[in-house]
Amino acid sequence: LTANIGVPNDVDMALENDAEGIGLFRSEFIFMNREHQPTEDEQFEQYKEVLVKMGDKPVIIRTLDIGGDKNVPYIDIPKEMNPFLGYRAIRLCLGNVEVFRTQLRAILRASVYGNVKIMIPMISTMKELKDSKKILQQAKDELTNEGIKFKKDIEIGIMIEIPSAAIISDLLAREVDFFSIGTNDLIQYTMAVDRMNSKLSYLYSQYHPALLRLIKGIIDNAHEAGIWVGMCGEAAGDPKLIPVFVGMGLDEFSMNSPSILRARYIVRNLNKADMEIIAKSTLNMENALEVEEYLSCLFADENESCLRTCKNRRRQE
């Protein structure tokens, strides 16, 4: 159970809540609310601060994820009709190689101070992943030639938050060390719904069987390839869904720090075999409401009749 953070000061709360690591360091906050791009040294100091505070615990740094709803004045981001489907995250980084390589150099330099992993957001094709890895290798070669130390065996992973990546996750898994499922965008792109549109909020649900089936497929493909898989979207901290994801075989949950202790209590007090049954049950349901009611029913201890109904259903399955 790990924490999501945006700035180095967030580490204190993560440690207070017994986080086993940082599952998502949103590095874009280092780039925002300023007129000029942060230098390599400025970035290095921020990453180093987090790594030193976390000691041997893993820290996953997500590379720059701007565009969409997050813009900066010093990078040319065109105005778009639908920015969430446009020039953002890794697409923007591959179009601004110097910005991307500078960030990777800073992360690599900081790697000697802790247990860092690099995560690339919004991968949708194999080419994007391979191009990203080439730039990472260029950064490594530069530092080697300059005599600057860095860890050679840093794990590299990707966020699975686009349906195309979920569908080819068996292929992507051959190229990386881990996946992290970003449920917030995965819901949005799977359901073709703007998560900020209140009129469509009924479609934006982390309980939808389509989403759960995608997640199960991602986990299975990752394990088939021998890599681990985590989750860093809001669903990772949902008390009703934690048993489902454990039952599916999810290896790591990353959430807001205050949710960690409750999540740990849930995981410790449920039987793995029961969670596997629960997970399988949700995959065969027709809609999000049915899934949510089923899970609410299972974990509503005060409602004995509801529990009996759910237990009967489980026995039938």
Token output for 284: 């065969």
- With a cut of 90, say whether residue 286 has pLDDT above it: yes
- With a cut of 70, say whether residue 314 has pLDDT above it: no
- With a cut of 80, say whether residue 260 has pLDDT above it: yes
Residue type, 187: I
Across the chain, mean pLDDT equals 93
* Tens-digit pLDDT profile for residues 130-182: 999 999 999 999 999 999 999 999 999 999 999 999 999 999 999 999 999 99
Q: What is the CA radius of gyration of the chain?
A: 20
Per-residue pLDDT at 94: 98
Q: Which residues does 133 contact at the CB level (< 8 Å), separation at least 6?
A: 156, 175
Per-residue pLDDT at 55: 98
Per-residue pLDDT at 301: 53
Angle at CA of residue 106, ends 21 and 126, nearest 5°:
75
- With a cut of 80, say whether residue 109 has pLDDT above it: yes
Calculate the alpha carbon distances from 99 to 39, 94, 104 in Å.
9, 9, 9
Task: Let me know if residue 61 belongs to a domain.
Answer: yes
Per-residue pLDDT at 82: 84
Please tell me the distance from the alpha carbon of residue 217 to that of residue 139, in angstroms, as a whole number: 33
In sequence order, which ranges of 192-303 are alpha helices (DSSP H)? 209-224, 242-248, 260-268, 272-283, 288-298
Task: Let me know if residue 120 belongs to a domain.
Answer: yes
Task: Let me know if residue 314 belongs to a domain.
Answer: no
DSSP character at residue 225: T
SS3 call for 59: strand
Domain hosting residue 115, numbered range = 2-283
Residue type, 79: K
CATH number at residue 189: 3.20.20.60
Task: Let me know if residue 300 belongs to a domain.
Answer: no
- With a cut of 80, say whether residue 70 has pLDDT above it: no
Task: Let me know if residue 225 belongs to a domain.
Answer: yes
Single out the residue of 102, 25, 108 nearest to residue 60, CA to CA. Answer: 25
- With a cut of 70, say whether residue 246 has pLDDT above it: yes
Structural domains counted in the chain: 1
* Tens-digit pLDDT profile for residues 265-279: 999 988 889 999 999
Burial status of residue 121 (CB atoms within 10 A of its CB: 0-12, 13-18, 19 or more): buried
Please tell me the distance from the alpha carbon of residue 72 to that of residue 96, in angstroms, as a whole number: 13
Average pLDDT over residues 246-268: 95
Who wins on pLDDT, 223 or 33?
Answer: 223
Who wins on pLDDT, 308 or 35?
Answer: 35
Task: Let me know if residue 248 belongs to a domain.
Answer: yes
* Tens-digit pLDDT profile for residues 78-102: 888 888 889 999 999 999 999 999 9
Per-residue pLDDT at 299: 76
- With a cut of 90, say whether residue 76 has pLDDT above it: no
Task: Let me know if residue 303 belongs to a domain.
Answer: no
Q: What is the pTM of this model?
A: 0.92
Task: Let me know if residue 307 belongs to a domain.
Answer: no
